[in-house]
Amino acid sequence: MALVVMKFGGSSVADADKIKLVADRVVEKKKAGNKVVVVVSAPGGTTDDLLAMSQNITSNPPDRELDILLATGEMISISLLSMAINFMGQKAISLTGPQAGIIADTSYTKARIKKVNPKKIKAMLAKDTIVVVAGFQALNAKGDVTTLGRGGSDLTAVALAAQLHADFCEIYSDVEGVFTTDPRVVKDARKIEYISYDEMLELAAAGAQVLQSRSVEVAKKFGVEIHSRSTFSQNPGTIITSKENIRRKKMEALLVSGIAFDKNQVKFTIIDLPDLPGIAAKIFSKLAKAGVNVDMIIQSAAINKKNDISFTVSKQDLKKTQIELDKLAQELKASQVIYDEHVSKISVVGIGMKSNVGVAGKMFEILHKKGINIEMISTSEIKISCIIDERDLTTAVEELHKGFGLSKKNRSFYDKA
């Protein structure tokens, strides 16, 4: 008898009809002879609505209270899904993250899972019961409910699959798998059959929402193979697995496997900082202490012993960053802090980049041909990212997708290695 973890995202449990459809799929899996653990997100839009409710009270709510509020979203879904499954004549029980034994560190809003104590889940599975777990939430050492960062239900599912040694970890959403770019933006994006953990990690970190990047990190660490697929179709989706497994299946490796983008970025620039050792250390350690995740950073060359530092953070951290920088700018005697919310990050990802030069040049050339200005650049072994004006984003995605041969019509850019 196999053990399957099935995770359904917000769009799959957005209303009563969809919840009944999810219940059908779960019951079908159970009747096929599997033990089933289901992880669900809050109904689509609920987490954003809850965040908006908190903003109506204060623009900077205490993180602990925010987590208690946000955790309520997933509790709506577990109870309703469990009712639907019971109504269909199968035994099901809903568990909150803390009840399911998901234990996190002490940080709020982006807590990390420290361990999973699956005692209760195992006891329920032994009683032939379907266990429905609230994603995105955990219990910390202080006994508080915390949340795991946006998209965190994926992480709950992968952590449970790892801890329970599940035979399958299926992540269901409103698309048929991982595509060469967001299929809602580029109509001829292609579904990828297999993708390595490393490429998926870079795509997810660069904004490809279909999987949360930390869930891919944990999947890689524990060797959990993820099957990303659609709630609304029976077609096979994308398998996220190790490079070795893909090679064994003799797949062609594309030089570039996908284009990702992130609209959720804000660019900050601190102007006229003294050009002295320790300034960057001070700024970024203060931001880290405030729980701000800094993404790209550039520092300009010094002129008259002064320079500027620009960096990006997610929009969610805008207020916290402003508060910290107002204090720091005074202390460090910088002349000004400016920010721009109208920027986006666009990234080209592919394992083939390791052994092929020229991808960066080609990317910049494609953007240049469309008159798109690049404001910041960062690279890793298998990714190149640029910050651009948000108004240029759709054109940039379409042109890069075409230019790197990812469209259905012009597949050409293969890595022959």
Least Cβ distance, residue 211 to ligand ADP (angstroms): 8
Pick the closer one to ligand ASP by CB: 9 or 101: 9
User: What is the size of the binding site for Mg ion (CB under 5 A)?
Assistant: 2
Yes or no: say if 171 and 38 are a contact pair by the CB < 8 Å rule.
no
Check binding of 98 to ligand ASP (CB under 6 A). no
Check binding of 258 to ligand ADP (CB under 6 A). yes
> 219-230 burial string, b = 16+ CB within 10 Å, else e?
bbeeebbbbbbb
Pick the closer one to ligand ASP by CB: 47 or 321: 47
Pick the closer one to ligand ASP by CB: 153 or 312: 153
How many angstroms separate the most distant Cα atoms in the chain? 76
Q: Which stretch binds Mg ion (CB under 5 A): 2-10, 53-61, 72-80, 184-192?
A: 2-10
Of residues 87, 76, 92, 78, the one with CA closest to residue 35:
92
State which of residues 25, 110, 150, 214 lies at the interface with ligand ASP (CB under 6 A). Answer: 150
The binder of 184, among Mg ion, ligand ASP, ligand ADP, none, by C-beta within 5 to 8 A per type, is ligand ADP
- Classified as helix, coil or strand, 240 is strand
Least Cβ distance, residue 45 to ligand ASP (angstroms): 9
Yes or no: say if 258 and 285 are a contact pair by the CB < 8 Å rule.
no
3-state helix/strand/coil string of 340-399: EEEEEEEEEECHHHHHCCCHHHHHHHHHHHCCCCCCEEEEECCEEEEEEEHHHHHHHHHH
Yes or no: say if 265 and 375 are a contact pair by the CB < 8 Å rule.
no
The 201-240 site mask, x for binding Mg ion (CB under 5 A), equals: ----------------------------------------
Check binding of 178 to ligand ADP (CB under 6 A). yes
- Classified as helix, coil or strand, 186 is coil
> Which residues contact ligand ADP (rule: CB under 6 A)?
9-12, 41, 151, 173-175, 178-179, 181-184, 208-210, 258
Q: Which residues are near Mg ion by CB under 5 A?
A: 9, 151
Residues that bind ligand ASP (CB under 6 A): 9-10, 41-42, 47, 73, 135-136, 150-154
